[in-house]
Amino acid sequence: MDKNTRKLRNQDINPCIEESDGSQRCLEAHNYDKSMCSPYFINYKNCRKYWHNLMVQRRREGVKPEMPTAEERKEILAGLGGKPY
């Protein structure tokens, strides 16, 4: 696995692995017909937007690391009662 792939699969760096995998599974199941997977793409986009906004907020506040770790994200989502996207 090359460096970029390892980075994308690292749960502490990429908060949307589950959504990304869902999109990929949908594409494979529907013979790469993108029109069949729009809900998965929207879910992934909303996930990226949510965590990006949180990262920007933490950066402004001086919180390190800027992207919460996988454990911190679980706590954040539990406090929200589930995924907000």
pLDDT in tens, 47-65: 999 999 999 999 999 999 9
d(CA 31, CA 48): 25
Quick: pLDDT tens for 64-82.
999 999 999 999 999 999 9
- Cβ atoms 49, 7 nearer than 8 A: no
Q: Give the residue among 5, 8, 11, 7 at the shortest CA–CA distance from 73.
A: 11
Locate the domains of the chain by residue range. 15-80
Predicted structure pTM score:
0.86
